[in-house]
Each structure stands twice: as structure tokens, then as C-alpha cells.
Amino acid sequence: MEIKNICCIGAGYVGGPTMSVIASQCPHLRITVVDSNPERIDAWNGPDLNKLPIYEPGLAEVVAEARGRNLFFSKDIDRAILEADMIFISVNTPTKTYGKGKGMAADLKFVESCARQIAAVATSDKIVVEKSTIPVRTASSIKNILTQADGGQSGGQSGGQAGGQAGGRTGRGINFHVLSNPEFLSEGTAVQDLLKPDRVLIGGDNEEAIQALTAIYAHWVPAERIITTNLWSAELSKLTANAFLAQRVSSINAISELCEATGADVDEVARAVGADSRIGPKFLKASVGFGGSCFQKDILNLVYIARSYQLHAVADYWEQVILLNRHQRRRFADKIVRTLYDTVSGKKIAFLGWAFKKDTNDSRESAAIYVADALLAEEAEITVYDPKVSPERIYADLDALGSRSPEENRRLLKIEKDPYDTMKGAYAIAVLTEWDEFKMYDWPRVYQNMQKPAFVFDGRRLLDAQKMESIGFDYYAIGGGSPQDL
Ligand code: UDX
Ligand code: UDX
């Protein structure tokens, strides 16, 4: 199977950067990225590369090189499907907000509609690649839709244990092969992660299809880093990888509370623990809680799947990772209220950061949203500064919680463009994202312009404790002690 034309459905945080990097590394491939949202496509095609729909360091350069050469962003989904030899599905798979599995299971309606559209439009053989994170065994549903939408035959026992054939021939004689190729990129470092992945994972049951996708990655990824497995292992590995990563954050965050109670310093503990080569130093930074579109969604999904197999001990175990994360956000907000003499009503509290981590404009599931919500419930007046997240996004995040009316959210929470205006007159500063620029501020100037005592609640352990205290701040870092770089 020689691949010349690739289509990717979903021009989001995963589809956009992934296809841009494939295009830059494989100039011989023609790659068309489509999206059901025409404005997103316009934004990808816009003349100003600083205004791409997502912000990722290094992405603008990659897009500049490949766009118009072999990378295209198009609104014509049918045509892109028709022309492609290989189709990546990279649409979102949010947690269900309705019906069975509400609040837990992944909502696969977008994945299903992609499969139906491919089935309806295709006139030649296709390799369909699951890029989106999906529940284990989704490939068999995709295969069924692809092959049976026009009355054809699916290739295998979708209910089987060992991984039935995820391919088949339709009534019109078209062959479909389904592969799972989960994406492990991390936002903020997406381009680097894609250029130098720890591993590329390809799950499938058709050797030719696996080889066709392997050959693409082999243009820049060393062969030993390309792992092939059966479909269900690949699907489950993605959920498991995210669950393990989130578990590490919840583990260190659980210890952070104990550090505060005992006088230990969580960075010192993390350094000592992480020096054990079996544990390793990464992903041990205590924080106000993990966010992002994946961790919570994927663990909830894992819990849901485990429960659906009656594996309640497994489900309970992983659910704790989420519960601890919620607790961490909550206790940070509680700490602010308690420290401000048990009332924040009418007090200005400055938020530094809204994104779920630095170097991204993404705020999905950001801890900042939940800390803000808890403080607004106490009638605090919040002012937010984030270098990349748009005001519309910030208000949309809060409105989505439904805790109060949109008018009320806009009355109580203001968004500033200038960090010094954000902090002027504030009773407290809360650091919610670890943006580097926060470390560079003229902190004596900030102190001068604040109410006294001037409290700083560092939910990222970002600032220099000694320096802040010497200026006069009442400085608190989540996890106690003095923050240090890990
Ligand atoms: C999403 C999921 O969050 C993640 O679990 C999965 O691994 C990949 O997809 P992300 O790229 O961050 O990740 O999502 P998002 O930025 O929302 O992009 C999805 C895109 O798909 C959106 O641009 C949306 O408009 C588009 N889409 C959605 C379609 O083109 N068709 C649809 O039917 C639904
Ligand atoms: C994650 C996975 O890392 C990636 O492999 C997968 O493809 C998608 O989900 P992402 O959500 O983009 O990526 O960012 P990540 O760097 O993993 O951070 C997730 C959250 O955990 C952030 O809110 C981050 O601030 C937090 N975190 C991470 C910590 O609080 N402490 C840490 O030590 C590491």
C-alpha cells in the first residue's frame, strides 16, 4: 500500500500540529486537514502566522514551511476523503454530558459521524487511523460502520477477545483497514514531542496497513521507537499512559498537603524520591492540580470501562486520582479564603494565569477555572491576566460551569491586558499557571501597589520564596518550604 494522499479530520490541538509535522518531514506526501468548523480552517489559512487557531512554540515556522506546498487546510471534507489513501480521525472525544455514562464515558458521536461520512463518500480503499483518544475496542465500532453502512461485510468478530479483524469490504467492494495510532504529544511542547517522540504506537491487525503507516513515521523516527501492537493494546495504552501520568501528579499533590502539615518541603521530597532511577524525576512537580483536555477525561473513561466489566476495585483505584485532583484545587481556594480572615467578599484577588499549563492558549479543565468558581461563590472580585488565553475563552470556561449567570460572571471577574493593572489594589495574588514571565516581574513595584498584608498564593511553586518574603509579601507555596527547580 503506497500512501500519497493523507486526510486528517479535526484541525485541533492534536490534528493541526501532528499533520504539520508529518508534512514538514514528508514533503512527498500531500496532506489535507479538514474540520467541520469552517472558521477554524480560515484561521489555519490566515496570513498572520501568529494568529493560528492554536499556539504552540515552533508551530508557526513548521506551518510556514509546509502550508501551500504539501499541507492544505480545507473546508471540502468530502473531497479530502475521496482523494485520500489514509484518513486520520482526530476529532474531539469529550466526556458525555447526557444519557448513559453521563459525566464518565467518552462521547463518540463525532468519531462515529466521521466514520459514516468516510463510508458514504469513499470510492477507493482506505486506511482509517484513530488519532483521537478513544475507549478500548472503538476500532471494532468504526470498522462496523465503515463496512456495513452500505450493507457490506465486516472483517471479524467484533465481540472477540483477541482483537478481531479491524478491516473489511463494503457492499461496493471497498477495503477499509482500521489502525490505532494514539498521539502522546503534550501541549506547549507539541512540535518537539512530534519531532522527537519517545515512541510512536501503531495498533492494527493488517500487516500491510501497519507497514504503510510505519513507513511514514520512519522518515524521521528511529525504527526502535516505533512500537506495533494489536488494536486493543494500542487503544488501551493511550488511556493507561495518561492515567499513569495523572497519577504521578496526584501522588505528589497528596504528599504536598502532608508536607504543609509537617514542615517538609515537597520539592525536596520530589527530588529525593525522583533520584531513584526506578521512579525518575519527571512529572513530580506539585501544583494546584492537573488540567488539560485529556487527563480527567481519559481517567473517567478508564473508570467507566472498568465498571462496565464489573471491575469495581480497578475503577475505584483510578477514580482516586481524579478525586485527589479535585481536592487539591478546592483546598487551594479554601486556603486563600481562610488566610484572608475567612472572607474574600468584595476583595480583589489577582489571578496570574488561566491556561492549564504554560506555553499554551488552552484552558480546558484548567485548575484556574475551579479555583475561580470557588472564590466567586464567596463573592470575591477576581482579576485575571494570562498571556495567551483569550477573554472570550475565560468567560466561556466559567459560564460552562453554570454556577451563576453569565452577567454575574462578568460582573465579578474582570480580565486585564497588563499584569501590573491586574495586581494593583489586590488583597492577594494567586499563581495558577507557571508562565516564565511571572518570574520576571518587578515584584517590589507590585508590592507597593497592593493592599497590606500583601498575600501571594503560589499554586505552581514558581516564585522565589526568599525574595518574595524579603520584599514584604506574605508568601505561601502549595507544598510548603521554598520552591526550587526540579
Ligand atoms: C481531541 C481530543 O481532546 C483528544 O482526546 C483526542 O486525542 C484528539 O482530539 P484536540 O485536538 O485537542 O484533541 O481537540 P480539539 O482542539 O477540540 O479539536 C478537534 C477538532 O475536531 C475541532 O476543531 C472540531 O471542530 C473538529 N471536529 C469535531 C470535526 O471536524 N468534526 C466533528 O465531527 C467534530
Ligand atoms: C498530556 C500527556 O502528557 C500527553 O502525553 C497526552 O498526549 C495528552 O495529555 P498535556 O495535557 O498536554 O499532555 O500536558 P501535560 O504536560 O501532561 O500536563 C497536564 C497537566 O498536569 C497540566 O495541568 C500540568 O500543569 C500538570 N502537571 C504536569 C503538574 O501539575 N505537575 C507535573 O509534574 C506535570
CA of 318 to the centre of ligand 2 (A): 17
CA nearest ligand 2 atom 14, residue: 186
Helix axes 312-339, 367-377, angle to 10 degrees: 50
The per-residue pLDDT for 165 is: 62
Distance (angstroms) between ligand 2 centre and the Cα of 359 equals 12
- From ligand 2's centre to the CA of 223, what distance in Å? 26
Predicted pLDDT at 149: 74
Which percentage of the chain shows pLDDT scores above 70? 96
pLDDT of residue 157: 42
- Choose which residue among 20, 73, 75, 92 to substitute to test ligand 1 binding: the one with the highest number of ligand atoms within 8 A of its C-beta: 92
Task: Report d(CA 24, CA 5) in Å as an integer.
Answer: 14
Ligand 2 neighbours by CB, cut-off 6 Å:
183-187, 242, 245, 249, 283-285, 287, 290-292, 294-295, 356-357
pLDDT at 153: 63
Query: Closest ligand 2 atom to the C-alpha of 289?
Result: 30
Catalytic residue among 7, 26, 259, 294: 294
Q: Which whole-number Å values give the CA distances from 462 to 263, 433, 434, 475, in the listed order?
A: 19, 9, 6, 11
Q: Which residues pair with 128 in a beta bridge?
A: 87, 178
How far, in Å, from the CA of 444 to the mean position of ligand 1?
A: 43
The three three-digit cell numbers of residue 174, written as one number: 471497498
Which atom of ligand 2 is nearest the CA belonging to 292? 11
Task: Give the whole-number percent of the chain exceeding pLDDT 90.
Answer: 89
Residue 258 has pLDDT above 50, yes or no: yes
Give the number of the atom of ligand 2 that is nearest the alpha carbon of residue 283.
33
Are 371 and 430 in contact by the 8 Å Cβ rule? The answer is yes
> What is the DSSP secondary structure assignment for residue 94, as one 8-state letter?
P
Ligand 2 pocket test, candidate residues 130, 181, 290, most atoms within 8 A of CB:
290
In sequence order, the 6+-apart residues with CB closer than 8 A to the CB of 182 are 130, 131, 133, 201, 234, 235, 237, 238
Kindly give the distance from the C-alpha atom of residue 186 to the centroid of ligand 2, in angstroms, as a whole number: 7
469 classed as catalytic: no
Cell numbers 500487516 label which residue? 207
Q: So what's the pLDDT on residue 137? A: 85
Angle at 403 between CA 398 and CA 405, to 5 degrees: 80
130, 183, 260, 378: which one is catalytic?
183
Looking at residue 113, its pLDDT comes to: 95
Answer whether residue 395 shows pLDDT above 70: yes
Catalytic annotation present for 238: yes
In this prediction, residue 297 carries a pLDDT of 93
State the distance from the centre of ligand 1 to the C-alpha of 458, rounded, in angstroms. Answer: 32
pLDDT at 54 over 60: yes
Give me the pLDDT at residue 160, please.
Answer: 40
Q: Which of 3-17, 102-116, 136-150, 223-237 has the lowest mean pLDDT?
A: 136-150
Asked whether residue 484 carries a pLDDT value surpassing 80, the answer given is no
Determine the pLDDT at residue 85. Answer: 98
Q: Which of 9, 21, 41, 91 to mutate to test the pocket of ligand 1 (most atoms within 8 A of CB)?
A: 91
Could you tell me which residue, 148 or 235, shows the higher pLDDT?
235
User: Beta partners for 32?
Assistant: 7, 72
**Residue 486: band (very low, low, confident or very high) from pLDDT cuts 50, 70, 90:** low
**For residue 106, which atom of ligand 1 is closest to its CA?**
5
Which ligand lies nearest the alpha carbon of 298? Answer: 1
Q: Which three cell numbers stand for residue 340?
A: 484572608
**Residue located via cell numbers 483536555:** 293
Nearest atom within ligand 1 for CA of residue 37: 25
Mean pLDDT check: name the lowest of 155-164, 274-283, 358-367.
Answer: 155-164
Q: Residue 156 — pLDDT band, cuts 50, 70, 90?
A: very low
Asked about 183 being catalytic, the answer comes back as yes
Query: What is residue 162's predicted lDDT score, i.e. its pLDDT?
Result: 42
Cα 481 to ligand 2 centre (Å): 24
Closest ligand (CA of 17): 1
Entry pTM: 0.93
pLDDT (average), residues 22-37 = 98
The separation between CA 437 and the C-alpha centre of its own chain, rounded to angstroms, equals 22
Per-residue pLDDT tens digits for 401-457: 999 999 999 999 999 999 999 999 999 999 999 999 999 999 999 999 999 999 999
Q: In whole angstroms, give the CA distance from residue 165 to residue 141.
A: 12
Active site residue: 238, 297, 348, 357, which one?
Answer: 238
Is-contact 56 191, C-beta < 8 A? yes
Q: Is 7 exposed, middle or buried (0-12, 13-18, 19+ CB in 10 A)?
A: buried
